[in-house]
């Protein structure tokens, strides 16, 4: 299981000890914030660092996102898929992408309805030639996460995708038991966010 250390809101001084301890994969949820932190961190580290976008992506930030991140975990609509594809071709940076699924069908939450996942994944690949390798979800915070993780696993199996990004500080152990390949852990590593 790959640990994605979620460093959002923490500055370079707080993140660097985690890099020094050997962590190489990180998650950020804002494009602008990541642009300010990671070029310097990459320059300081002899090994390649892998930075994942785990927050919502707006069309007007696609260019910066493709230049800044190594993996986009939050592809969830046609407009963003086509903008990403265009920009990846322009920059010749063909990043692995995950599709975000709104497993709880929460109206305020990003992600695709579960029943639209298969057709969306197919369109991303066939129409846009995006390199979709997995699915990600954020279960409703007040529910047992296990059924949501099971749903994501089933959808990934049905669409033939090897990567399942699920589980955060409070529930990563459950997610791993349910087949997570990537867990996104922030506060359990960095402490509470201000
Ligand atoms: C902030 C965030 C996390 C990490 O949450 P913690 O509870 O601090 O571990 C994981 N995934 C996403 C999408 C996030 O925005």
Give the position, in ligand 1's atom list, of the atom nearest the Cα of 170: 7
Question: Ligand 1 pocket: which of 25, 137, 186, 189 to mutate (most atoms <8 Å of CB)?
Answer: 186
Please give the pLDDT value at position 152.
98
Out of 15, 27, 55, 152, give the residue to mutate to test ligand 1, the one with the largest number of ligand atoms within 8 Å of its CB: 27
Could you give the C-alpha distances from 166 to 33, 37, 75, 192, in angstroms and in order?
23, 25, 15, 20
pLDDT of residue 153: 98
Pairing mode, strands 25-28 and 131-136: unpaired
Confidence at residue 181, expressed as pLDDT on a 0 to 100 scale: 98
Q: Distance from the CA of 184 to the center of ligand 1, in angstroms?
A: 6
- Say how far apart CA 77 and CA 83 lie, in whole Å: 10
Give 3-state DSSP helix, strand, coil % of the chain, rounded to 5. 45, 20, 35
The greatest distance separating any two alpha carbons of the chain, rounded to the nearest whole angstrom, comes to 44
Residue 86 and residue 57: Cα distance in Å, rounded?
15
What's the confidence (pLDDT) of residue 194? 77
How far is ligand 1, taken at its centre, from the CA of residue 90, in Å? Answer: 31
**Which is the closest atom of ligand 1 to the Cα of 8?**
1
* pLDDT in single tens digits along all 194 residues of the chain: 999 999 999 999 999 999 999 999 999 999 999 999 999 999 999 999 999 999 999 999 999 999 999 999 999 999 999 999 999 999 999 999 999 999 999 999 999 999 999 999 999 999 999 999 999 999 999 999 999 999 999 999 999 999 999 999 999 999 999 999 999 999 999 999 97
Take atom 12 of ligand 1 and give the residue whose Cα is closest: 54
Cβ contact 157:178 at 8 Å: no
Name the strand (E) or helix (H) holding 134.
Answer: strand 131-136
Tell me which DSSP letter residue 170 carries: T
Task: Specify whether the CB–CB gap between 133 and 163 falls below 8 A.
Answer: yes
Q: What is the DSSP string of 92-116?
A: T---EEEEEB-TT--TTS-SB-GGG
Residue nearest atom 10 of ligand 1, based on CA coordinates: 184
Q: Is the pTM of this model over 0.95?
A: yes
């Amino acid at each position: 299981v790959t640990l994605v250390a979620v460093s959002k809101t923490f500055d370079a001084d707080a993140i660097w000890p985690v890099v020094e301890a050997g962590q190489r994969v990180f998650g950020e949820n804002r494009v602008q914030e990541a642009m300010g932190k990671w070029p310097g961190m990459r320059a300081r580290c002899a090994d390649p660092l892998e930075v994942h976008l785990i927050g919502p992506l707006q069309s007007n930030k696609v260019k910066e996102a493709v230049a800044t991140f190594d993996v986009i975990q939050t592809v969830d609509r046609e407009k963003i898929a086509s903008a990403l594809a265009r920009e990846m071709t322009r920059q010749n940076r063909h990043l692995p992408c995950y599709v975000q699924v709104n497993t709880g069908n929460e109206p305020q939450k990003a992600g695709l309805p579960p029943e639209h996942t298969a057709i969306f994944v197919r369109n991303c690949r066939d129409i846009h030639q995006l390199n979709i390798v997995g699915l990600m979800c954020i279960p409703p915070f007040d529910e047992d996460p296990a059924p949501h993780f099971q749903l994501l696993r089933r959808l990934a199996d049905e669409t033939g995708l090897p990567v399942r990004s699920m589980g955060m500080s409070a529930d990563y152990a459950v997610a791993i038991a349910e087949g997570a390949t990537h867990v996104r852990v922030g506060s359990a590593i960095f402490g509470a966010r201000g």
